[in-house]
Amino acid sequence: MIEIEHVAKQFVTPKTGGRRSASQPAAQRVVKAVRDVSIRAPDAHITGLLGPNGAGKTTTLRMLAALITPDAGRLSVDGIDVVSRPREALARMGVLSDARGLYPRLSARENIVYFGALHGMQRDAAHARAESLARMLEMTALLDRRTEGFSQGERMKTALARALVHDPPNIVLDEPTNGLDVIATRALRDALRWLRTPEGGGKCIVFSTHIMQEVERLCDSVVVVSQGRAVAQGTVHELLAQTGEQDFEEAFVKLAFANESARGRPEAA
Amino acid sequence: MTMSLLRSALTVFRKEIVDALRDRRTLVVVLVSSVLLGPLVLLAISALVASFEERAERREVYVAGLEHAPDLQNYFERQTYTVRPAPADFEAMLRASTFADPVVVVPKDYQWALLHGEAPVIEVVSDSANRQAESGSGRIQRLLQGYSRERALLALASRGVSAELLEPMRIQERDLASAQTRATQITGMLPFFVLIAVLYGALNAALDTTAGERERGSLEPLLMNPAQRAALVLGKWAAVACLSMLIAVLSCFSFLPGQWLLRTDTLQAMFQFGLREALLFLAVLLPLAAALSAVLMAVAIRCKSFKEAQANSTVVVLGVSLLPLVTLFNPSGEAAWHLWVPALAQNTLMTRVLKGEELSALQVLVPLLVCVLLSAGGVALVARGLRAAALK
């Protein structure tokens, strides 16, 4: 269970702005990456974070992973406040961030077991877990190869296994399908669906994306994020009904961009 | 709390050591360039000294125009020298350093001048750019002066004058330097090699665990573990310091077998580097290894890529290579402040060890304190820079 309530974050350096908030005037030194985002992601549920590039998805997820401290709002994981007890919150989360670098001189197994050990797992348990994750992600053959020269899909699988090594009840994925081919994307979707089921552990899964089809095919509910705000939340059907559209892409464009004028001018920074 | 910190730090330490040891190519380069270089230089010096000694022992003298001076040949042979005719183009050969002995040139009118009481000129031809020939030149000149004096003494004796009159005073040299001090003229660069070895032992691992981790994008996932940041930094620093110390140990102990390979007894007697010296070297170097690791990591954590970190760490590399030179440019010798400057202090202390001098407690403690402060400062900077580094 992940709860994010009205978080906000601004950056003062001009350099970091471009990536997180494209709409701000160039001269502005203060970049409001996240203005007001609230997400409630229950267990055994896949929650999609849908938004255009620079909407504030990555910043929100980085706040959730305790890498950045929010300026306002509250984030909690299974009732544990992320800001005041970051290590306990991280212990209950598996995060696949957009940076998913592996150690090229270590094998996939060693990469996974290393993170398991940092989560406080015993070696044997971490090895056993690496093997069962490898079976689930269909990467058993890769397990004892050095990750140097892995393909994008193989890297993603290793990074995902590394993030899930401690069997966390909450899973956070930042654009997990970036750079993956169809087969790898389908394999990832299957893995996430299974993790949602009671046999898979009934995980609370949050993932961000800018791809409509992914949300339509996978998510139980969607949070649409635009210009640092959560502008709509609900199932795909609810959002279609809300906008009166047949096509989800049209609905998304309406929600993400058209709502801007209805909402009034963004506050001056 | 501290248990989990130690456990995490140990996990990080173990992983970084494995990671670094698998980087075979870098490891081989460091081992060859740092650890083998010292003994190799030692060997080269030994071969050079040996060739000088061998030349002196051979007792040969090359003479051009020997047929004009049978008495000179007789004298050389009485001094147990072998007299050999000089090659025809000896001047060109000396210039080109293809001939390694000075040549005595006897003029055609040698006998005639001698009989008529006119001092003939005997040349000792050498080339000051030809070091081997030059080193033998003094010996040949002394030999010729000996003959000159012998003739003078004979002439005086035949006139009934005592030879004592010719030497109203005697000159004797007394060298204050001990055998070991003399040896430091030759072995003085050894501390420098060891310092560089320690530096290069730390360099690659320090950059790889900080800037390298950023470049690969593995720092952000690493920080999303519940392990304490202090544990990550301490584990990494300990691993880098350990590698550097390992290189220091290998480098110091490589001089022990290197010493057996010394070909000349003179050098062997002068260069006394035993277990005691090796251990003293290590006592001086190990704290420096820890401090350099921390400083290099603190520099590298600010850099986005390995390449950028390499460029920035050049300052540290240059500092460690150039600071020991202060002693060269400072004719007043050792100053108290030298002990407060890292690298310079270690160089000074190691030179003392090679000279066979004792190290006082203060001399060991001051650099140790400096190293502890540098390590603590470096580690603190890395810990502070870690999170900011992960995000950019």
B304 touches chain A (CB under 8 A): no
Fold of A2-92+169-262: Rossmann fold (3.40.50)
Q: For residue A18, name the pLDDT band (cuts at 50, 70, 90).
A: very low
| pLDDT score, position A104 | 95
| pLDDT score, position A17 | 45
* pLDDT surpassing 70 at residue B144: yes
Instruction: List, for residues A93-105, the tens digit of each pLDDT value.
Output: 999 988 889 999 9
* pLDDT surpassing 90 at residue A126: yes
Instruction: List, for residues B290-316, the tens digit of each pLDDT value.
Output: 999 999 999 999 999 999 999 999 999
| pLDDT score, position B162 | 78
| pLDDT score, position A20 | 47
Of A88, A101, A105, the CB nearest to B221: A101
Of A28, A75, A265, A118, which is closest to residue B225 (Cα–Cα)?
Answer: A118
B-chain residues near A68 (CB < 8 A): 391
Contact A118 B12 (CB under 8 A): yes
A117 touches chain B (CB under 8 A): yes
Contact B226 A90 (CB under 8 A): yes
Q: In terms of pLDDT, which residue wins out, B275 or A146?
A: A146
Contact A103 B19 (CB under 8 A): yes
Average the pLDDT over B161-185 and give the result.
69
Q: What is the ipTM of this complex?
A: 0.87
Of A93, A105, A163, the CB nearest to B23: A105
| pLDDT score, position B356 | 81
The neighbour count for residue B222, using CB atoms within 10 Å, is 21
Measure in Å the smallest separation between the Cα of B245 and chain A Cα atoms: 22
Question: Minimal Cα distance from A106: which residue of B?
Answer: B19
The backbone torsions φ and ψ at residue B11, rounded to the nearest 5 degrees and listed phi first, read: -60, -45
Contact A67 B390 (CB under 8 A): yes
Q: For residue B378, name the pLDDT band (cuts at 50, 70, 90).
A: very high
Average the pLDDT over B169-180 and give the result.
68
Fold of B56-172: abc type-2 transporter like fold (3.40.1710)
Sign of CA dihedral A149, A154, A156, A158: negative
Average the pLDDT over A113-123 and give the result.
94
B-chain residues near A163 (CB < 8 A): 221
CA atoms of B353 and B351, how far apart (whole Å): 5
| pLDDT score, position B273 | 78
* pLDDT surpassing 70 at residue A138: yes
* pLDDT surpassing 90 at residue B36: no
Q: For residue A260, name the pLDDT band (cuts at 50, 70, 90).
A: low
What's the Cα-to-Cα distance from B114 to each of A57, B75, B158, rounded to whole Å?
106, 15, 16
CATH 3.40.50.300 residue window(s) in chain A: 2-92+169-262
| pLDDT score, position B237 | 97
A62 touches chain B (CB under 8 A): yes
Contact B18 A16 (CB under 8 A): no
A253 touches chain B (CB under 8 A): no
Contact A104 B225 (CB under 8 A): no
Of B4, B226, B387, the CB nearest to A67: B387
Of B179, B199, B258, B210, which is closest to residue B12 (Cα–Cα)?
Answer: B210
Percent with pLDDT over 70 in chain B? 92
> Do the Cβ atoms of A34 and A59 come closer than 8 Å?
yes
A90 touches chain B (CB under 8 A): yes
Percent with pLDDT over 90 in chain B? 33
Pick the residue of B10, B18, B225 with the most A CBs within 10 A to test the interface with A by mutation: B225
| pLDDT score, position B132 | 77
Q: Is B18 exposed, middle or buried (0-12, 13-18, 19+ CB in 10 A)?
A: middle
| pLDDT score, position B331 | 62
Instruction: List, for residues B223-281, the tens digit of each pLDDT value.
Output: 999 999 999 999 999 999 999 999 999 888 888 877 777 666 666 666 777 888 889 99
Q: For residue A198, name the pLDDT band (cuts at 50, 70, 90).
A: very high
The backbone torsions φ and ψ at residue A228, rounded to the nearest 5 degrees and listed phi first, read: 80, 5
| pLDDT score, position A23 | 53
Q: In terms of pLDDT, which residue wins out, B126 or A172?
A: A172
CB neighbours of A106 closer than 8 A, spacing ≥ 6? A114, A146, A147, B15, B18, B19, B22
Q: In terms of pLDDT, which residue wins out, B330 or A34?
A: A34
State the helix-helix crossing angle for A123-136 and A108-118, rounded to 10 degrees. 130
B211 touches chain A (CB under 8 A): no
| pLDDT score, position A36 | 93
A103 touches chain B (CB under 8 A): yes
Contact A99 B217 (CB under 8 A): yes
> Which residues are paired to A46 by β-bridges?
A205
Contact B221 A117 (CB under 8 A): no
Of B216, B219, B224, the CB nearest to A90: B224
Instruction: List, for residues B80-97, the tens digit of each pLDDT value.
Output: 888 888 888 888 888 888
| pLDDT score, position B178 | 61
B224 touches chain A (CB under 8 A): yes
Mean pLDDT, rounded, of chain B? 85
Pick the range with the lowest mean pLDDT from A1-5, A59-63, A220-224, A262-266.
A262-266
B-chain residues near A106 (CB < 8 A): 15, 18-19, 22
Of B219, B226, B391, the CB nearest to A119: B226
> Do the Cβ atoms of B105 and B121 come closer than 8 Å?
no
Task: Identify the top-confidence range among A159-173, B62-76, B154-168.
Answer: A159-173
B392 touches chain A (CB under 8 A): yes
A231 touches chain B (CB under 8 A): no
A16 touches chain B (CB under 8 A): yes
The SS3 assignment for B85 reads strand
Mean pLDDT, rounded, of chain A? 88
Contact A99 B218 (CB under 8 A): yes
Question: Minimal Cα distance from A88: which residue of B?
Answer: B226
CB neighbours of A210 closer than 8 A, spacing ≥ 6? A50, A51, A52, A53, A175
* pLDDT surpassing 70 at residue A19: no
Measure in Å the smallest separation between the Cα of A181 and chain B Cα atoms: 21
Contact A97 B8 (CB under 8 A): no
- Alpha-carbon Rg for chain A in angstroms: 19
> Do the Cβ atoms of B264 and B49 come closer than 8 Å?
yes
**Cα B328 → chain centroid:** 14
| pLDDT score, position B150 | 85
Measure in Å the smallest separation between the Cα of B229 and chain A Cα atoms: 10
Of B205, B197, B272, which is closest to residue B20 (Cα–Cα)?
Answer: B205
Average the pLDDT over B3-26 and give the result.
92
Q: For residue B337, name the pLDDT band (cuts at 50, 70, 90).
A: confident
